Amino acid sequence: MKRSKLKSFVIPSFVSLVALVALLTAALLPKKSSLQPEDDANTYVTGSIISNETAVINEDIRIINPYTDSSVTIGKTYYDYKADAANQEKSIIFHDNTYMQNSGVDFVSSNTFDVVAVLNGEVTNVKDDETLGKIVEIKHDNDYITIYQSLSEVTVKKGDTISQGQVIGKSGTNELDKEIGNHLHFEFYANGQIVDPTLYLNKELNTKTN
């Protein structure tokens, strides 16, 4: 068979065609992004790194005394069943020919003084008792309840929201502790149990706020 030869003008055209096909093939193939990691096995963050939750702040709040007058002192202490006989004797109330254990602390002064809330809370009861005098009860967080008795004046009402240090009344007298004179009878309840107020007053209370 006779072998035919390509004419000289055909060779440049063929080379141009091959080059064009190569360019088109390169253009149509998907390109790999230079930003894409080569190791697909790695895990990458796809969600937001900013949390929408409000941070919890720890604050140390100190339970304050139920008065601000520096002349106020303790006239009668809380009756502690574990105390010695001498201290228990100082915590006995004698009224109407009856001896009773003191269920709180009596703060006394020769002058009438302001009575303040020891913590933030809500007034749950206000009443006037012929034996105990005017009474204010406040419920606080942490299952604490404070009771202020023997008041001569009350400046709050049931349902009021109270701030720590707010004046709720003034000291006075009552029939139960008549011999003490002007004073505040203060009681403290923790988890439904009456406790010695001095174990909590001026102590830090760890709370959380948003």
Concatenating the DSSP letter of every residue in 160-197 gives -EE-TT-EEEEEB--STTGGG-SEEEEEEEETTEEE-G
What percent of the chain has a predicted confidence (pLDDT) above 90?
A: 52
Q: Each residue of 116-146: b (16+ CB within 10 Å) or e?
A: bbbbbbebeebeeeeebbbbbbbbbeeebbb
- pTM of the predicted model over 0.75: no
- Contact, 190 vs 143, CB < 8 A? yes
CATH fold group of domain 61-209? Glucose Permease (Domain IIA) (2.70.70)
How far is it, in rounded angstroms, from Cα 27 to Cα 32?
12
How far is it, in rounded angstroms, from Cα 30 to Cα 155?
81
**Of the ranges 15-19, 73-77, 118-122, 127-131, the best mean pLDDT one:** 118-122
- Confidence bin at 125 (pLDDT 50/70/90): very high
CB atoms under 10 Å from CB of 12, counted, come to 9
How far is it, in rounded angstroms, from Cα 184 to Cα 76?
10
How far is it, in rounded angstroms, from Cα 25 to Cα 98?
110
Residue 194 has pLDDT above 70, yes or no: yes
How far is it, in rounded angstroms, from Cα 104 to Cα 184?
10
How far is it, in rounded angstroms, from Cα 77 to Cα 90?
7
Model pLDDT for residues 72-124, shown as the tens digit of each residue: 999 999 988 888 888 887 777 777 778 788 889 999 999 999 999 999 999 99
How far is it, in rounded angstroms, from Cα 37 to Cα 196?
67
Residue 45 has pLDDT above 90, yes or no: no
